[in-house]
Chains A and B, each alone.
Chain A
Amino acid sequence: MTIETAPKQSWWNRIAHPSQFVAWSRPLLWPLTILTAVLFLFGLWFAFFNSPEDYQMGDTVRIMYIHVPTAWLSQFVYAIMTVSALGSLVWRHPMADVSMKSAAPLGATFTALALFTGSLWGRPTWGTFWEWDGRMTSTLVLLFIYLGIVALWRAFDDQLRAARVIAVFTLVGAINIPIIKFSVDWWSTLHQPASVFRPDGPRMPGSILTPLFIMFFAFTFLFLTLHLKAMHTEVKRRRVMALERQAAQAGASA
Chain B
Amino acid sequence: MTAFSALIGRELRMAVRNGGDVLTLLLFFVIVGAVVPFAVGPDKDLLALLAPGIVWIAAFLSMLLGLDRLFRADHEDGTLILLRGADLPFSAVVAAKVIAHWLVAAVPLIVASPILAVLLAMDMGGFWKTVLSLAVGTPALAAFGAVGAAVTVSIRRGGLIAPVLIAPLAVPVLIFGVGAISTGTGPDQSGAALLFLAAISLMAAALCPFMAALAISSGED
Binding site for B on A (CB under 8 A): 89, 137, 141, 144-145, 148, 151-152, 155-156, 161, 164-169, 171-173, 175-176
Interface: B214 (CB within 8 A): yes
A137 to B171, CA, bound (A): 10
- Asked if A152 meets B169 with Cβ closer than 8 Å, knowing A89-B218, A172-B211, the reply is no
B167 x A167 contact (CB < 8 A): no
Binding site for A on B (CB under 8 A): 147, 150-152, 154-155, 157-158, 161, 164-165, 167-169, 171, 208, 211, 214-215, 218-219
A164 to B165, CA, bound (A): 16
B164 x A168 contact (CB < 8 A): no
Q: Which of B164, B208, B215 contacts A165 (CB 8 A)?
A: B215
Q: Which of A152, A161, A169 contacts B147 (CB 8 A)?
A: A169
Q: Which of B157, B158, B169 contacts A172 (CB 8 A)?
A: B169
A89 to B219, CA, bound (A): 11
Give the Cβ gap from B169 to chain A, nearest Cβ, in Å: 7
A169 x B164 contact (CB < 8 A): no
* Chain B residues near A152 (CB-CB < 8 A): 151-152, 161, 165
* Chain B residues near A173 (CB-CB < 8 A): 169
Say what secondary structure dominates the interface of chain A: helix
* Chain A residues near B167 (CB-CB < 8 A): 144
A161 x B151 contact (CB < 8 A): no
A165 x B171 contact (CB < 8 A): no
6 contacts between A and B (CB under 8 A): A151-B164, A152-B161, A166-B151, A168-B218, A172-B147, A173-B169
Question: B216 — nearest CB in chain A belongs to which residue?
Answer: A165
Question: A140 — nearest CB in chain B belongs to which residue?
Answer: B168
A89 to B218, CA, bound (A): 9
A141 to B172, CA, bound (A): 10
Q: Which of B154, B161, B169, B215 contacts A168 (CB 8 A)?
A: B215
A168 x B168 contact (CB < 8 A): no
B165 x A141 contact (CB < 8 A): no
B215 x A155 contact (CB < 8 A): no
* Apart from the given pairs A144-B167, A148-B164, A161-B219, 6 other A-B contacts in the complex at a CB distance below 8 Å: A145-B168, A155-B155, A156-B155, A168-B150, A168-B214, A175-B169
* Chain B residues near A89 (CB-CB < 8 A): 214, 218
Give the Cβ gap from A112 to chain B, nearest Cβ, in Å: 14
* Chain A residues near B155 (CB-CB < 8 A): 155-156
A168 to B219, CA, bound (A): 10
* Chain A residues near B165 (CB-CB < 8 A): 145, 148, 151-152, 169
A137 to B172, CA, bound (A): 11
A167 to B151, CA, bound (A): 10
* Chain A residues near B215 (CB-CB < 8 A): 165, 168-169
A148 x B161 contact (CB < 8 A): yes
Q: Which of A141, A155, A156, A171 contacts B168 (CB 8 A)?
A: A141
Give the Cβ gap from B111 to chain A, nearest Cβ, in Å: 30
A156 to B219, CA, bound (A): 10
A155 x B158 contact (CB < 8 A): yes
Give the Cβ gap from B70 to chain A, nearest Cβ, in Å: 15
B219 x A165 contact (CB < 8 A): yes
Give the Cβ gap from A80 to chain B, nearest Cβ, in Å: 20
Question: B217 — nearest CB in chain A belongs to which residue?
Answer: A164
A172 to B215, CA, bound (A): 11
Give the Cβ gap from A238 to chain B, nearest Cβ, in Å: 19
Give the Cβ gap from A92 to chain B, nearest Cβ, in Å: 10
